[in-house]
Structure 1
């Protein structure tokens, strides 16, 4: 009798545990489905932003409704803006900068995690002077935008791109054309540490075996004006080009913003330095030192590094500064006024 009672009690316990486990699995799946659904909505909102610009429909309520009331915006040369009024303020100089602008929407790379959507893509069009871009020699149309969401609305939109879209800044073109810590943490954490090690090596100018061993043999690199390179030899060529361009470069590593998803690590940050002719930057008026790097990994090695930044680090590009930054335009010297008058005659 006791044996039968023990068997009955054991069956009851097993049945209860199975029911609990099934309910837990069901609840977990529901949470995952809700999270995935929210992320998909946020991805579609980010996509909608570009669709509206493509169609020219970016000055009505449906466009501004994509953003929160306190949204923060960043764009090279333009700088920072806040709120829907800031979004409108950003749109005005952009209209002056381009005759037309379209995006290769079907080729976008979306990196989605939590409440962040990172978009890598290619844009094309013609600047205000009628020059078409990209030419895929010095202008490549590459951009990266980081969207942060509050619910289904954009609360932060930081755009990383070379604002000299058509590659008409000849001086910069001519200049640019010529430690891994192993531990038992997750692969994503190792990848994030590798990305951080890359910046530490660059800042210390330690281009040694430890630096090159961060990359796969067929690593792909992209940098505005420089273009694309393949392999560790391409990484070396890029380093030579940058040493001819800059005397010094340091990154604010401790304040980096990391977005990690699958085998991709996105790093937003700020850098400062001195150009080859002794000009320090940023000035936080027209040069802000903002950049965004997208690292793609194969295991714990970097197989793709695409760098999105304004290569005119010292803000010597008068045309785009005049069109994108009103505070710059309102504080020109007499000499700069004369330059601007000449530009209007072109």
Structure 2
């Protein structure tokens, strides 16, 4: 037997995803005296409250989407509780969540009567893209020296594995979502460019092994401050498709969160590489 209350709640999120949150079919999901609550907004009542809330959200967010396939529902006779995930773009152009200090998780409690929503209380951080720096600093209580120690541990482990000083898989050190960049001419060099996932990083190492033979890789120094690290060095690589050696200095910029690498930017003389490989 289908649960009509659940269908109503699912329709609420579906209409938002479809951009219909100001349509008549959207408002028909609610009772005339519906009560809504949202952090920082407070309480709203009836259609007027729904419209006022919608106007406020539009001022904060240009695009919002719910991952409906991954919702969890808890139901009883008159309540539907939703645990879910949302993503979008703020009105300042920032994509959220970034999965380092914003995660897109929320929980909403719906109370229904005659298959209409009479009460909707949403519990979520309204700082969608985690731009509330001061409160984040207070709540994120891990001391800077502890973060530095964690970052150094992961960076050292990365290079210990790379140089064969310890066993392990480099890909295991990366978060599921990664800000990865190795600038260069992607039309000529398949291993360069931006990547966003652990799987894409793994593909990088595969492409690199097929196309490059390392002749020298030396680190001059590593600096670490909190979650951030910088590695400076030089390398010589044989570019196999061209059968030529390429030498350059390099800088690697890393960020480590919860003992996983979430940012990896490798900066070398990509112009020189492009000019010499002909």
Q: TM-score, normalised by structure 2?
A: 0.50
Higher relative contact order (CA 8 A, sep 6+): 1
Q: TM-score, normalised by structure 1?
A: 0.40
Higher relative helix content: 1
Higher relative strand content: 2
